[in-house]
Amino acid sequence: MDFGDLPERGLVLLGCGKMGSAMLEGWLSQGLPAECVHVIDPNAPDWVVARGVSVNQTLPEAPSIVIVAVKPQMMGDALPSIQRFGNSETVLLSIAAGTKIEAFEDVFGSQTPIVRAMPNTPAAIGQGITAYCRNEHVSDARLELSRALLSAVGKTVALESEGQIDAVTGVSGSGPAYVFHMIETLAEAGVSQGLPAEMAMELAVATVAGAGALAAASDEGATQLRINVTSPNGTTQAALEVLMDPETGFPSLMKRAVAAAADRSRELGA
């Protein structure tokens, strides 16, 4: 990974919880010098200090990027420690859910370069996907550096506008929970058909994980993959007739679920 001027100017990570730790581990494993990373978090994991990262020490004068990785409810207490970097060349990269670019501009100044990103929880194992957007003060080079940092925990997609963030929240941000619930209910359905609970869960987890890996590796889209495994008048078709029912099946249910999550995201960001 090309870290640009990070080794010289430094990177500040505000918040080192699950997501911040996952990103930090990714950067270090890809060659970012530990001594250029400055973490602000009173509860930073012990391994961070052990790796040579500066924790709760003096910050660089003009870091290349400051990453905001704290929970929204902690924002008020945490932001003052980095407020002095506003209205400068330092890029503010936020992975904090529900906080708009405008809100950061109000705190740091209207000339502050800001990138807003929405990762998801599989980032914890390097299998996440992060959508991102920027304000007009972020150069193409700085946006690419931000994208490279985000890619340490999975794939990235660029948004056309910040207005798409709420839809992203409904699909990939909250989406892992939908899949976990599908695993739960698939296993429960297996139990209702006579399988032991432990076996049903093992089958459900492996099936969802395998199908997801196949979809990611295949050149064929999800629709064609579904067709490939659906024999006419077979068992899969019988199940899909239930799941694909336009009124009671996945099409209607998933649209309502994603809309509910997106609507809630808009409310939180209002």
User: How many C-beta neighbours within 10 Å does residue 153 have?
Assistant: 26
Question: pTM for this one?
Answer: 0.89
Q: Are strands 114-118 and 128-134 parallel, antiparallel or unpaired?
A: antiparallel
pLDDT, tens digit, 9 for 90 and up, residues 129-148? 999 999 999 999 999 999 99
* Domains, in order of start, for the chain: 6-167 (3.40.50.720), 173-269 (1.10.3730.10)
Burial string for 206-224 (b: 16+ CB within 10 Å, else e) reads: eeeeeeeeeeeeeeeeeee
pLDDT, tens digit, 9 for 90 and up, residues 151-161? 999 999 999 99
Per-residue pLDDT 10s for the chain (270 aa) are 778 888 899 999 999 998 899 999 999 999 999 999 999 999 999 999 999 999 999 999 999 999 999 987 788 888 999 999 999 999 999 998 888 999 999 999 999 999 999 999 999 888 999 999 999 999 999 999 999 999 999 999 999 999 999 999 999 999 999 999 999 999 999 999 999 999 999 999 999 999 999 999 999 999 999 999 999 999 999 999 999 999 999 999 999 999 999 999 888 876
